Amino acid sequence: MDIRKLKTDEELPLDLLLLADPSQALIEDYVQRGECFLAENERQIIGVYVLLPTRPETVELVNIAVMETHHDRGIGKQLIIDALQRAKSRGYRTIEVGTGNSSIGQLALYQKCGFRITGVDRDFFIRHYSEKIFENGIQCRDMVRLSQEL
């Protein structure tokens, strides 16, 4: 598997990005402001993540997704490790990520990769998404914020 930056003339892998964020408008906004990276296996895009500078010396991992047929193979962890390395090499001192309160697997993965919970943005998904989101039988209401020093 190779991980590379999305080329300027390349089409955005919207189907993958929508797996992690159901708002196409929000995705298009933050992809324009950040950098999109693709995981490829035998010329097939199987994963994606977006790094978005938010403050001086801070970058946010705003979207990370793996094709459903490739889940449980460690690809998400590899994408996070790649994001950490790229952020550090670009001089960032802190990386942040936010995920839904209902995203149990993602919360576990981020913590296994060294992220610590720093706060909760209550009702984030109620305020920013018109339709209710459910995962693991739980309504996604709150954004759980995590960060890591690089």
- Determine contact, residues 12/31, Cβ cutoff 8 Å: yes
List the domain range (segments joined by +) for residue 123: 2-149
**Cα–Cα distance list, 58 to 23, 119, 137, 150 (Å):** 24, 16, 33, 10
Judged by DSSP in three states, 2 sits in: strand
Q: Global pTM?
A: 0.92
The domain tally of the chain equals 1
Type of residue found at 27? I
Question: pLDDT (tens digit, 9 = 90+) per residue, 9-56?
Answer: 999 999 999 999 988 999 999 999 999 999 999 999 999 999 999 999
pLDDT of residue 133: 93
Distance CA 144, CA 107 (A): 8
The CATH number of the domain holding residue 144 is 3.40.630.30
pLDDT of residue 75: 96
